Structure 1
Amino acid sequence: MHQRWTIDELIDVWTLLPAERELLGNKTGPTRLGFAVMLKAFQHEGKFPYNSHEVPEVVVEYVARQVGVRHEQYREFNWRSRNSTYQRQDIRAYCGFREFTREDADTLTDWLSQSVLPREFRVGAVMDAAFQWLRGNKIEPPSAGRLQRFVDSAERQYDQRLCQTIHDRLSAVQREALDKFLDAIPLVDDATEEGELLPRGTVLQNLRTNSEKRGVDSVEQQIEKLRLLRKIGLSSGLFADVSPHVLVRYRERAATESPSHFRVQAAPVRLTLLAAFCVTRMTELTDSLMTHLIDMVHHINVRAERRVEKKFVKEFKKVNNKERLWEKLLEAALANPDGTVRAVLFPVVSEETLRDLLREFKEKGGFSQQVHTVLRGTYKTHYRRMIPWVLTELEFRSNNQRHQPVIQALGLLKRYVDSYVRIYPPEEVIPVGGVIDRKLQDLILEQGTDGKTRVNRVNYELCVLSALRDAVRSREIWVVGGDKYRDPEKDLPQDFETQKTQYFEALNQPQDVDAFVQGLEHQLKDALVMLHDGLPKNAEVKVTAHDGGRFVVSPLKAQPEPPFYDTLKGEVGRQFWNTQLLEVLVESDQRAGITPHFKSFMTRENLSREDLQQRLLLCLFGLGTNTGLKRVAAGQDGVAHHNLQYVKTHYIHRDALRAANTAVVNAILEARNPDIWGEGTTSCASDAKKYSAWDGNLRTQRSIRYGGNGVMIYWHVEKKSTCIYSSMKSCSSSEVAAMIEGVLRHCSDMKVEKNYVDTHGQSEVGFAFTHLLGFQLMPRLADIAHQRLYLPNMAFSEQVPNLAAVLAQRSIRWDLIRQQYEPMVKYATALRLGLADPESILLRFTRANAQHPTYTALCELGKVLRTIFVCNYLHRPELRREIHEGLNVIETWNGTTSFIFFGKTGEISTNNPEAQEISMLALQLLQNCLVYVNTLMIQHVLADEQWRDRMTNEDWRALSPLMYHHINPYGEFKLDLSHRLKLSV
């Protein structure tokens, strides 16, 4: 039961009706009040409270006033007496409920295993479904522990039934092939003196290894794994009727089980887990190969350009006075543009010198030709080895007729994989348009002695790979068997036409396109007029005609320093000095319930709950601080490193960490005192921070903006410093996609209506999608001076003459928005439903795919929304300050992560992408726990009226739970579950 109740909620839920007052009868004192509280609590939640602490004090006071009993007497009510048992029977009878029976347990278990677990896996969600079923059938639920046992029983029942089904679908040959994955791999290098081969690992363990960083050797390893998996012949329909989340759960379980554990399991379970691993692993390998191909094509192109650039610079500096020669030529030509070459240029630079320069240029060739020469040499001598593997193991398709030449070109390359011809035969039809860039056609298409055009195979393969890379990145060409690079039509809702009305309602958008366009047009006109009319009075914003027209915006004035805030922080530090960071985690677990969200993938757990809780907290601390499990285990008696490693492998996974973060975030929102923190917020800020990471994987990249190899963690932090979502991305990934993903998938009960971002987190497409999804994108525009305002029509310029210098040269093309309105809503629905990763969907809408009709419409819609936002941004200084304050919160969050994630100098020391994400989520959890406990500490101090009265408006504005001057993350890590912080709440 939540602890914060408004007066309206109290009236709606806790008001006694006349018929209910009659039930009180002749009850008096604590019995009368306790009965009334139990009655209303049972009506509200469908279950009885079993101690006085479950019901908030404000509720007790409200009910006490109705029944005429002092609320202090509530503490005297005996919850375990025979009298209270009779009262619960009376309440059940009045509400039409009955007690839970053994038959109900069997019925509930069957219902959960058949109707809930196939589509839901979160522990809290399954429990909620069980409560709803019991309430719908008017059955009083059993205790939470007993109900959890029934949920666990339903999970086992569902798993057993599903495993048996999958086992029956496998042929005898497939079962035998899957069992061979558990066989040891002997290596000649490990032979004993007697010549006996020693085993090293198994086939399964080899298949689990992740892809290394780009390179031909890495591609070869992934191809071998893919071929091995395909030999089994598992059909695509093997898990067709299984929910994706169930398949992922089985895959993660198979990825953590040791071969010895596999061998002792029953055949249905063992083979189902192996089959799930194989099916998902084939998809992962397919995506990995495409990522390798895309990265390598980009890498060799960039490397060739850099080599030629260095060579050009070197040669340019080698020639004596060449810079001065070019300078003289340009000065002479500009000084006398109407003169002849002989009269103007030859006196400055002799004709002979100019001929020498021309001869040198022709011998060395132009920039493009030299880049192609270097690229061709690198590709032919090394990277060309991967072409037969890629063409034979991957199948490419396209739904767009415009990209069919690339598909045909790939077929041509595949036909000549085993051929040694250097020039394609003249009778071969070679696709040129859409494959060979127009700038390179003169270079690639050679003229033979017979006058016919010839095409060199190596040159053509380079062009095909480059065109393939561009098309795959924009999702116009897709790969059969992939997930990230799958058919883009599968990303969209397949029932959109039949469920169109419901989808429009879910997005809160009008189905009539005219109403949508007219509403936007009206907003655009109002925003432009507002900025125009307010410009003469706006001392902080000016419009100037300099540099082609620009805005001049004065910086915001610094706000006054809070006079008392440092004293308050000092008092928090005095009362809670040297609080161990591990104690913060323990306190959060005791209050918010972190460890119950971590369940093993194993069917049986032998650890006691206390031992498991202790080891889970130590693991989370070691991962969240990046100190590692060995150092954490060294300071704890009775816990060895292998104990923590076992718990980390079998219990700590991404879904559990996200569920634990959700529990802490919701506990923070629930614990906040509105008198101190204000009412609930609906805004958050998002930004990325780079973290150093090992580079032996595909995710770690060199950051152009920050330098060095690493990954980006994109944080979503609400205005009171609580992180509601985090995602790990490569340095080149889209921040706009990460922003949308965080708002749609955030782990809290709050509704996000505004999202503050820096300049990199916004784009025209981002503005369009956020509007369709129902929240406002509010960026801090670093390039505000050069923004252009778009008019609804060109005639409207007469109404805003003061903005003439900053108006775009054309008006909004409303016809594009009208034509593509439904497709835009269709893509927004796919984002809302989570049918695909936002980054995969947004890849279709980039400049590389500018001809996509929906992309052009999204850009037009984004221009409308950006213009409206810029007008508000410039007209309202409080909006600019609001955005700055929101982004300052996330900057503080980023600074605090360095304090918590201190181990190994803050470097993520693993090449496993899943382990990298686990480190990120553990860091988010630990820092949210710090925010939670700090919130309670501040409320503990401010519970004293003397401290609260000294707070000024500036102090309330600066109040933040992101402080760590009183926290000690170092030293020995001694975990004591019985120790609690002395907090009054």
Structure 2
Amino acid sequence: MARRSLLTDAERERLFGVPTGRDELVRRYTLDLTDLALVSGHRGDANRLGFALQLALLRDPGFGLSVATGAPEALVVFLAEQLGIEPSAFAAYAARVATATEHARELERALGLRPATRVDLPLMIESAAAAAWPTDKGGPIAEGIIHALRDVRIVLPTPDTIERAGLAGRARARKRAADALLAGLSHEQITRLDAMLAVDPATGRTLLAWTRDLPVAPKPDHVRELVDRLAMVRAVGLDPTLTNRIHPDRLRALVREGQLSSPHAIERYTPHRRRAILVAALLDLERRLTDAVLGMADRLIGASFTRGKNARERTYTATSRDVGRLMRLLHGTIEAVEAAVRDGGDALSAIDGAVGLDRLIHAKPDAAAIADLAEEDPLVRAADRHGTLRKFAPLLLEAIDFRASRSTDPTIAALATLRQLNRSGKRDVPRDAPMPFKKDWRRLVAGADGKVDRRLYETAVFAHLRNKWRSGDVWVERSGEYRRFDSYLLPAAEAAPIVTDLDLPASGDAWLSERGRELDWRLQRFAGRLTRGQVEGVSMKNGRLSIAPVRSATPPDAAALAERIDALMPRVRVTDLLHEVARETGFLSAFTNLRTHRPVDNEAALLAVILADATNLGLSRMAEASQGVTRDQLLWTREAYIRDETYRAALARIIDAHHALPIACVWGDGTTSASDGQFFRSGKRGDAAGEVNARYGVDPGFAFYTHTSDQHDPFHATVISATEHEAPFVLDGLLHHGSGLSIAEHYTDTGGSTDHVHALCALLGFRFCPRLRDFPDRRLASIEPAARYPALKPIMGKRVRVELIREHWGDIIRLVASLKAGVVAPSAMLKKLAAYERQNQLDLALAEMGRICRTLFMLDWLEAPALRRRCHAGLNKSEQRHVLAGAICTYKQGRIADRSREAQEYRASGLNLVIAAIVYWNSTYMADAVAHLRTTVEPAPDDLLSHTSPVGWEHIALSGDFLWDHVAMPRGRRPLNLPRQRRVA
């Protein structure tokens, strides 16, 4: 059996290796005067060189010289150069083992060191346990041992010894974490924990598997199923404060293991570790189930209003003939009255003669009905689906403990009223029942006689509650997505250093002063230039801005160059392409085993799983279409290695490797990016099919929202609902992509733009440049009175309410610091800020800041045609990526059948990873093709290359049989597809 290892090869080299580069040798191994004096005390070149080498190695990395394993040649040469000795002199020293040992003892005495012994193992293991308290990663654990030994002046033992101590320390840290989670649990709780892994004979499944299998279709019965699962988890009686006993990162690791491991895999652990994983998993399950209950209730309540609205529109459409008849009747009546007034006749007689009084009186009920329908409040139609609401509303009230900042909050009081009615079985709502919803609804709910309509009241309360929990005004303590708004923000003390790093002003006044001066100057300058006709491509016509469309800046020769390069690209199977990119970038090492943290040993199986995600083929059909892998291998590999974090880390490695290629610079410097959504239809039908967005037709589905750099790297992707606004997800990709790209300027289309995004991008250091479809209809904002800019009067909006920004500056910078620190996703906060009702005005203050930032951007856009062209080019790169994605994700007609969000995210991540691999592979061979063209005196200048793209796939076999046999792969570079080779073929 292979020995378990703590470190990867890269980590061993980083911690224990000696560099070969000159600059690094200089920094780490330059001898000072004291060192040279110590070395000069020995006679003979061999002794001095060997002594200097031992001195250098004892300091860094901390080992003595091992004559048996030899000395780093680059270090020998570098030290010999400093001593004026020939490097060959070391051969004589290496033959003198006794001398080397004597020198080692001398150096230890001179440096105050001693060798490591067996009695130092407890220190090493304990330091490893301390380092492993937050993590299972080998690098930090080994570093903890090294630092502890250096602190007490002990020469490092062999790397194998450090690794063995690290493994023991990691096991100790895991046991301590398990002890902390299990401390104080009663025998009854332990019994219930163990029962979670027992198989129910009736269903053939364990309770754990049942609780983790969450229904996703929005149905009242599914709310009941989720509540039943929540009750099962709560029955174990775990205190949520248990999570405070261990490090958050260690807790996340246990939760992740509990989420991704099958019950059978968890059962194989020792009882102690198994129960600790179950505790972490169940506490997380309670949070996820609470969110799932509220999320499904949210969709059902929203659906009642949507369907009610649709039913009203259908009814209104059906009355179109009656509306026409009544309008003609009204028109005739008006004409008769006008004629009577003009001729001095009797109006009633004129009406009776023209349209007939009886006919007019008979039309009264129809006119009243149509008028009532046109003015009907959405609440009325939503209440028609009260029966659906009653199927889950009482369960929701009993299962979820809603909180508000005030104990007398009317929303909480209304919920208490409904809860009491449900428990008592009474049907009539008290006349003095709390009505926290808007006034229009109060008039509807309470009739003229003051009697409260139960259907309308309950519907109104839950619609109001839905808005409240969305915004965070009402919250649930043991939830992830519906907590108190302030709980998502860093405390002011923790936010302060982040704000300092972002170079944000200390007060709202300072920010307003700086931006106010800039905004005033820019508006005056633009007004003057617009009046004089000096703004290129922009004019004012009839009080409305007219902006010349962006023209393509692609030179005619660029297309011809792209065709020549495409013709030279080698033909390759996608399987071979993935193997080659893995070999060159090492991205497969990012996929570590969930339990052992070791890299994958079956690379073909892992690549097949990734391609199954990317192509939408699925594991079973991938196994059938593959040679070299089996379905069992694919299933095990997915469970052990595929996670969101491993996909992100692997993508980052490819992106960073591509960014380092010289040819990538011809497309951009990696500082600009664009994001856009791509719609994928669902393979499901009915309620499980996703959302319908009329923009994409009648089929339900969802979107993969992707960020693409100017070098064509797709560096982030996430799954969003087809009906969700894209703007909240812009910052997710900019802040948390994990690659080495440093994005400074970002482009979106209209769907990615809101004033909130403008403000947050500016505060976080990003230049946000959306291509606005309705740009001429947007209004400019000002801090000074609009009269100060008379030439811009037709396009000026309301003045900025600066008092809101001043008042809420502290909350704004706390929000910005929290987003920067990654404690909460920007999309989560932006969706809360966009909620209907809110207790604070942070969203309004942020929107006012956004109006200032958006106006400055709009002035940039109007005055800088180059910016418009950059944005257009950036969004075109996103579109090119979408076309390639459509070519890859073709199986099952491109319809994504996965119901769970996790599986959909894997599809998006696999697709993005394969696209990034294709971009990297294409770039390397495009560089070869360009070099070949230049040797044949064909022009291939960089200014033309910038218009080419590495997202082509005509030369890549994306489908067919998938061959994963390494033997068929060339170990070096593939030859270009030269003309002679094409004729032979």
TM-score, structure 2 normalization? 0.84
CA contact (8 A) 1:620 1:922 kept: yes
Aligned residue in 2 for 1:804: 793
Q: Which structure 2 residues correspond to residues 534-549 of structure 1 after superposition, within 5 A?
A: 534-535=529-530, 536-538=532-534, 540-544=536-540, 546=542, 549=543
CA separation in 2, counterparts of 1:366 and 1:100?
A: 88
Partner amino acid, structure 2, of 1:488: F
Q: Which structure 2 residues correspond to residues 562-573 of structure 1 after superposition, within 5 A?
A: 563=557, 566-567=560-561, 570-571=564-565, 573=567
Selected match of 1:234 from 235, 238, 256: 238
TM-superposed CA distance for 1:277, in Å, is 1.6
Task: Name the SS for the 1:844 alignment partner.
Answer: helix
Aligned residue in 2 for 1:961: 950
Q: 1:910 to 1:719 in 2, by over 3 A?
A: same
| Residue 474 (str. 1) matches residue 464 (str. 2) | no
Q: Which structure 2 residues correspond to residues 394-793 of structure 1 after superposition, within 5 A?
A: 394-399=400-405, 404-426=409-431, 429-432=432-435, 434-435=436-437, 437-448=438-449, 453-494=450-491, 496=492, 498-499=493-494, 501-535=496-530, 536-538=532-534, 540-544=536-540, 546=542, 549-561=543-555, 563=557, 566-567=560-561, 570-571=564-565, 573-577=567-571, 579-602=572-595, 611-636=601-626, 639-669=629-659, 671-673=660-662, 677=666, 680-694=669-683, 700-707=690-697, 708-793=699-784
Count of residue correspondences: 937
CA separation in 1, counterparts of 2:596 and 2:973?
A: 39
CA separation in 1, counterparts of 2:881 and 2:414?
A: 50
Q: Which moved more, 1:130-139 or 1:211-220?
A: 130-139
Aligned residue in 2 for 1:161: 176
| Residue 386 (str. 1) matches residue 376 (str. 2) | no
Q: Which structure 2 residues correspond to residues 337-352 of structure 1 after superposition, within 5 A?
A: 349-352=355-358
Task: Name the SS for the 2:675 alignment partner.
Answer: strand
Q: 1:727 to 1:896 in 2, by over 3 A?
A: same
CA separation in 1, counterparts of 2:48 and 2:330?
A: 101
CA contact (8 A) 2:649 2:738 kept: yes
| Residue 273 (str. 1) matches residue 277 (str. 2) | yes
Selected match of 2:253 from 249, 256, 262: 249
Partner amino acid, structure 1, of 2:486: E
CA contact (8 A) 1:32 1:67 kept: no
TM-superposed CA distance for 1:586, in Å, is 1.3
CA separation in 2, counterparts of 1:98 and 1:935?
A: 53
Partner amino acid, structure 2, of 1:558: S
Task: Name the SS for the 2:940 alignment partner.
Answer: coil
CA contact (8 A) 2:761 2:768 kept: yes
TM-superposed CA distance for 1:15, in Å, is 11
Task: Name the SS for the 1:970 alignment partner.
Answer: coil
TM-superposed CA distance for 1:722, in Å, is 1.0
Aligned residue in 2 for 1:190: none
Q: Which moved more, 1:761-770 or 1:583-592?
A: 583-592
Q: 1:33 to 1:714 in 2, by over 3 A?
A: farther
Partner amino acid, structure 1, of 2:419: K
**TM-superposition CA deviations, 1:913-948 (whole Å, max 9, x none):** 211112211222222111222222223333444269
Percent identity between matched residues is: 22
CA contact (8 A) 1:551 1:785 kept: yes
CA contact (8 A) 1:562 1:958 kept: no
CA contact (8 A) 1:13 1:44 kept: no
Q: Which moved more, 1:954-963 or 1:249-258?
A: 249-258
CA separation in 1, counterparts of 2:337 and 2:782?
A: 43
Task: Name the SS for the 1:430 alignment partner.
Answer: coil
Task: Name the SS for the 1:751 alignment partner.
Answer: coil
TM-superposed CA distance for 1:623, in Å, is 1.9
TM-superposed CA distance for 1:867, in Å, is 0.8
TM-superposed CA distance for 1:245, in Å, is 3.9
**TM-superposition CA deviations, 1:49-98 (whole Å, max 9, x none):** 99xxxxxxxx99x999x9999xxx999x99x9879998998999999999
Partner amino acid, structure 1, of 2:220: V
Partner amino acid, structure 1, of 2:796: L
Aligned residue in 1 for 2:981: none
Task: Name the SS for the 2:757 alignment partner.
Answer: helix
Selected match of 1:186 from 198, 201, 204: 201
CA separation in 2, counterparts of 1:465 and 1:592?
A: 53
Aligned residue in 1 for 2:382: 375
Partner amino acid, structure 2, of 1:905: Q
Aligned residue in 1 for 2:914: 926
Alignment RMSD: 4.6
TM-superposed CA distance for 1:445, in Å, is 0.9
Q: Which moved more, 1:286-295 or 1:85-94?
A: 85-94
Q: Which structure 2 residues correspond to residues 802-951 of structure 1 after superposition, within 5 A?
A: 802-808=791-797, 810-846=798-834, 848-849=836-837, 852-944=840-932, 945-946=934-935, 950-951=939-940
TM-score, structure 1 normalization? 0.84
CA separation in 1, counterparts of 2:339 and 2:818?
A: 61
**TM-superposition CA deviations, 1:291-326 (whole Å, max 9, x none):** 111111110111122112212221332678345335
CA separation in 2, counterparts of 1:680 and 1:738?
A: 24
Partner amino acid, structure 2, of 1:113: A
Partner amino acid, structure 1, of 2:246: V
Aligned residue in 1 for 2:983: none
CA separation in 2, counterparts of 1:49 and 1:334?
A: 113
TM-superposed CA distance for 1:287, in Å, is 0.6
Task: Name the SS for the 1:454 alignment partner.
Answer: coil
Selected match of 2:186 from 160, 164, 171: 171
Aligned residue in 2 for 1:56: none
Partner amino acid, structure 1, of 2:455: V
CA contact (8 A) 2:58 2:155 kept: no
CA contact (8 A) 2:380 2:456 kept: no
Q: 1:456 to 1:321 in 2, by over 3 A?
A: closer
Structure 2: unaligned runs, 5 residues or longer: 1-12, 67-73, 976-985
Q: 1:948 to 1:499 in 2, by over 3 A?
A: farther
Q: 1:305 to 1:500 in 2, by over 3 A?
A: closer
Q: Which moved more, 1:502-511 or 1:126-135?
A: 126-135
**TM-superposition CA deviations, 1:446-492 (whole Å, max 9, x none):** 244xxxx2112222111101111111122211123111011222111
Task: Name the SS for the 1:714 alignment partner.
Answer: strand
Partner amino acid, structure 2, of 1:717: T
**TM-superposition CA deviations, 1:397-456 (whole Å, max 9, x none):** 12268x921111001000111344332245xx3112x32x322333321244xxxx2112
Q: Which moved more, 1:860-869 or 1:946-955?
A: 946-955
Q: Which structure 2 residues correspond to residues 118-133 of structure 1 after superposition, within 5 A?
A: 118-120=133-135
Aligned residue in 1 for 2:126: 110
CA separation in 2, counterparts of 1:39 and 1:805?
A: 78
CA contact (8 A) 1:562 1:955 kept: no
Task: Name the SS for the 2:362 alignment partner.
Answer: helix
Partner amino acid, structure 2, of 1:632: M
